[in-house]
Chain A
């Protein structure tokens, strides 16, 4: 099985520890992971702003960089969703079709491909799980509170394999944090208010660490937490899953 690791641009630049945790976690589970040189971004920032056309060279660069692997694994539900959902505007070559099926969020790869049932991880803390929207409602990593389904939540399943983790009960299980890419810049007041409200929910539940499958949501929440001087920390789920018991 040839596995490529895709570390999205903002994780590469601002949260290298998330990339390292993802790589180490996959390796500890016996995977040989390739990290293709020259990778950049999935193109979502331009596309979500309405500039899909300006994103096409980035799409093509992604396809060129990641062709020839069985799976591309990325610690971002949002980027995986973008490749799978929105790479429909470029020519649907075999390589593109393959990548639109096989670009997986880390949690999908762990549960659906590696069929992980236990982890040798320990993280003694009260953890608040932020269900990032693109993972939840885009990739269907969980049932979502709107729908009447009894599907498991991938991130819950994985977190419950970690010794010592206590998952907090939130009042609003899966409300958006307000990041939304360029929304955070274009509507800064609403965006920050949404983030503040999510944080307040976690704080009421006694959360020590907020985790998620997407670092972008956590970057936004962390920005508010630090401005507030809050002791609550944020950690990508890969960092928690990669702790050693």
Chain B
């Protein structure tokens, strides 16, 4: 329960670094604002995207089967995985079939969620993440801290040191262009030697049986073009009915994510290249359970743009790792309790319910309202710390009884007015750690009113 608060407190100890992290993400949020505000029909686009997703989620079975049929017609092999373990086994078996030992992978939050890298490495298969940010954290042996900018928590000096150790770049080098070039040269070898390329999927089109992969670095394309075997892993919620719907989402995605009008590469994969093979793995892993929860189903609309992280004042000041879940930030805090309520029972409380996430969301997920609803479930199922629950029961009693309320208010004011400072400001008073308590007045408004107005 206290987990996020503890990790956040550790992150925030380095205030200058916290400010840097906050400013970096606020910069992305500001770019997003400019890009979104340049489109007069932005709000209509969001509404349209939300409705398309609503419709699709209500007919998911039909569209998934239509997608499968069309993909098969195109000569693509389609697999279904009920959970992460099955997904990993399927990918492994495809690789075995093709005798593939060296894999390049472009960004995929799904394979991160399934723990694919670790699984394949245990089977003695080499997996190289080819997105620059992902490669950085792979070399650093850390999880991503953001779904779009996985290494946003690292400074260029730290990347320089890491590359010096792992890629033999010059000691002390921090020039982004130099470091990026070193990563390019290093990754080029992996692309040329790869037996297979794995990608995530941004959108899958039921009408065409094709998948769409959006990147800025072209790494997904390098991988799939060079390796004889391509595997695309997608969650069941990635489906869109028709190709004509795609434009609504590509217009929203890059603008929301980074403030770009579109990603540099928007690649459409429909069939295997000549002499190659193409597989698509469709994964549930808890998504149908979430679909069955009326209050939370529309969290499945998420297109993984990360805008809710960039805008979240708590995420910006606590870092992605403080959430301890594959998808951090506001959207992660409504997705992960659905996977393991006990483990993630603290996340819906890592929010002030300010609502910025819901307003920035390109598909209009009511994120902060779902945070509120998860809180109710967490309390009902007994995952609130006992002291907190007891204090709320007490508060409920006091605040529904005017007599108790008056007495409690009077004594609270008396305490803050007359008790010596050390008795009020101590380790039990987390409010007072960095803040003064309000100066208590002699009389409440109600007391003033009775004296001054009641007679009239």
A183 and B349 within 8 A (CB): yes
What are 14 inter-chain pairs, A to B, with CB distance below 8 A?
A9-B409, A18-B445, A46-B395, A49-B384, A50-B349, A51-B393, A55-B396, A60-B400, A146-B356, A188-B434, A189-B9, A189-B12, A192-B433, A197-B317
Partner of A57, one of B396, B430, B441: B396
Is chain A's binding surface mostly helix, strand, loop or mixed?
Answer: helix
A37–B406 Cα gap in the complex (Å)?
11
Q: Distance (Å) between the CB of B432 and the closest chain A CB?
A: 8
Supply 7 further A-B pairs (C-beta < 8 A) apart from A61-B400, A133-B356, A223-B431: A13-B412, A148-B40, A176-B352, A180-B351, A180-B352, A227-B434, A227-B436
A188 and B431 within 8 A (CB): yes
| Chain B residue at minimal CB-CB distance from A196 | B434
With contacts A16-B443, A39-B402, A172-B26 taken as known, whether A188 is within 8 angstroms of B313 at the C-beta atoms is no
| Chain A residue at minimal CB-CB distance from B369 | A85
Q: Distance (Å) between the CB of A137 and the closest chain B CB?
A: 4
List, in ascending order, chain B residues with CB within 8 A of A46's CB: 392, 395-396, 399
List, in ascending order, chain B residues with CB within 8 A of A149's CB: 43
A13 and B351 within 8 A (CB): no
Q: Which of B388-445 contact A (CB under 8 A)?
A: 388-389, 392-393, 395-397, 399-402, 405, 409, 412-413, 430-431, 433-441, 443-445
| Chain B residue at minimal CB-CB distance from A65 | B402
With contacts A58-B396, A147-B43 taken as known, whether A11 is within 8 angstroms of B437 at the C-beta atoms is no
Q: Distance (Å) between the CB of B175 and the closest chain A CB?
A: 29
List, in ascending order, chain B residues with CB within 8 A of A58's CB: 396, 399-400
A49 and B436 within 8 A (CB): no
| Chain B residue at minimal CB-CB distance from A146 | B359
Interface residues on A, range: 35 or more
Partner of B445, one of A16, A189, A196, A220: A16
List, in ascending order, chain B residues with CB within 8 A of A184's CB: 431
With contacts A12-B444, A133-B354, A183-B352 taken as known, whether A193 is within 8 angstroms of B18 at the C-beta atoms is yes
Q: Distance (Å) between the CB of A235 and the closest chain B CB?
A: 14
A141–B416 Cα gap in the complex (Å)?
34
Please, how many residues of chain B have a CB less than 8 angstroms from a CB on the other chain? 75
A51–B386 Cα gap in the complex (Å)?
12
Is chain B's binding surface mostly helix, strand, loop or mixed?
Answer: helix
A39–B399 Cα gap in the complex (Å)?
9
Q: Is B117 an interface residue (CB 8 A)?
A: no
B393 and A54 within 8 A (CB): yes
B350 and A187 within 8 A (CB): yes
Contact with A along B27-47 (1 / 0, CB 8 A): 000000100110110110000
Most buried by A among B352, B355, B439: B352
A181–B388 Cα gap in the complex (Å)?
13
Q: Which of A131-166 contact B (CB under 8 A)?
A: 133-134, 137-138, 144-149
Q: Is A179 an interface residue (CB 8 A)?
A: yes
Contact with A along B234-270 (1 / 0, CB 8 A): 0000000000000000000000000000000000000
A35 and B449 within 8 A (CB): yes
Q: Distance (Å) between the CB of B417 and the closest chain A CB?
A: 11
List, in ascending order, chain A residues with CB within 8 A of B438's CB: 14-15, 219, 222-223
Q: Is A128 an interface residue (CB 8 A)?
A: no
| Chain A residue at minimal CB-CB distance from B416 | A14
List, in ascending order, chain A residues with CB within 8 A of B349's CB: 50, 183, 186-187
Q: Is B24 an interface residue (CB 8 A)?
A: no
Contact with B along A183-214 (1 / 0, CB 8 A): 11111111111111100000000000000000
